[in-house]
């Protein structure tokens, strides 16, 4: 996701098999949304540390 700058599983995947692997991983009960969001938040904190950030939303 970081390298390709997309959150689309179809766009991330090289082929159908890889797309299905992503879906299976996300549907795995041991994969928790809270863990994914915390990891993303930590990465964002690291990337913007010491910078001014303008967040625009409509």
Contact (Cβ atoms closer than 8 angstroms) between residue 22 and residue 13 = yes
Residue 42 tokens, joined: 């930590």
Confidence of residue 58 (pLDDT cuts 50, 70, 90): confident
Sign for the pseudo-dihedral over CA of 41, 46, 50, 51: negative
Is pLDDT larger for residue 33 or for residue 58?
Answer: 33
Tokens at 43, concatenated: 């990465």
pLDDT tens per residue across span 7-23: 788 888 899 999 999 89
According to the model, what pLDDT value does residue 5 have? 64
Give the mean pLDDT of the chain.
87
Rounded distance between C-alpha atoms, residue 20 and residue 55, angstroms: 33
What does the pLDDT read at residue 2? 59
């Amino acid at each position: 996701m970081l390298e390709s700058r997309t959150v689309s599983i179809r766009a991330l995947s090289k082929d159908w098999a890889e797309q299905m692997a992503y879906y299976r991983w996300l549907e795995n009960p041991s994969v928790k949304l809270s863990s994914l969001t915390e990891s993303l938040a930590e990465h964002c904190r690291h990337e913007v540390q010491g910078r001014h950030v303008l967040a625009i939303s409509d």
